[in-house]
Amino acid sequence: MSIPIRLLFVVPAVLLSINAWSQALLSKSTGQTVYVPSYTELYKSNSFSVKGLTTVTIHNIDPHHSITVNAVTSYDTHGKLSKQYLQEPLILRSFASKSYLVRSEKGFDGIGANFIVRWESAEEVVAPLIESRMLANSGTQGYSLSSQGRVIETKSRHHPSEK
């Protein structure tokens, strides 16, 4: 008898969580700065780690509009700027993607490389999906992690009354 009562509380909470998650994925914006956590090293124990490689991928998921990626920068474990990946803005058409590969031997260690992606659009678009994937192996074991970017700044549209 207590299970159905619990379901009355659990099911709505799960549905609200799914709805909030899906709305966040489909939010519209004219530009954002996105922090993307990434890893080039995994710790198996206090004294043993596995180095690997990571990719950061930007997916333009808007079905009608292009976006312009203005900056892709990486930072090491200590927050020091490591690399700027774009020399000029990159235009991603609808459903286009662009990936950046980082190998652990390129100077990253521990829980770095961390990325900042800045993008914009002339009109409101569905915000891109920006992900990182880490791959590593040790002997016969393979490891894989993924994480999604988190918006840390949103470009706001100016109203006609604003200067």
Nearest to 84 by CA among 75, 69, 76, 73: 73
Q: Tell me: the pLDDT tens digits for 8-27?
A: 455 555 555 555 555 555 68
Q: Scanning the structure block, which residue is given the tokens 């950061």?
A: 56
Q: Tell me: the pLDDT tens digits for 95-117?
A: 999 999 887 665 555 666 789 99
pLDDT at 7: 45
Residue 61 has pLDDT above 50, yes or no: yes
Q: Tell me: the pLDDT tens digits for 121-142?
A: 999 999 999 999 988 888 888 8
What are the domain boundaries of the chain? 30-154
- The CATH superfamily holding the domain 30-154 is TM1070-like (2.60.290.11)
Angstrom distance (rounded) from CA 84 to CA 74: 7
pTM: 0.76
Nearest to 82 by CA among 72, 92, 94, 91: 72
Angstrom distance (rounded) from CA 13 to CA 7: 10
| pLDDT > 90 fraction of the chain, expressed in percent and rounded | 44
Minimum mean pLDDT among 12-16, 24-28, 47-51, 74-78: which range?
12-16
Mean pLDDT of the chain: 81
**C-beta of residue 67 within 8 angstroms of C-beta of residue 121:** yes
DSSP string, 8-62: HHHHHHHHHHHHHHHHHHT-EEEEEEEEE---SEEEEETTEEEEEEEEEEEE---
More confident residue, 53 or 12: 53
pLDDT at 12: 56
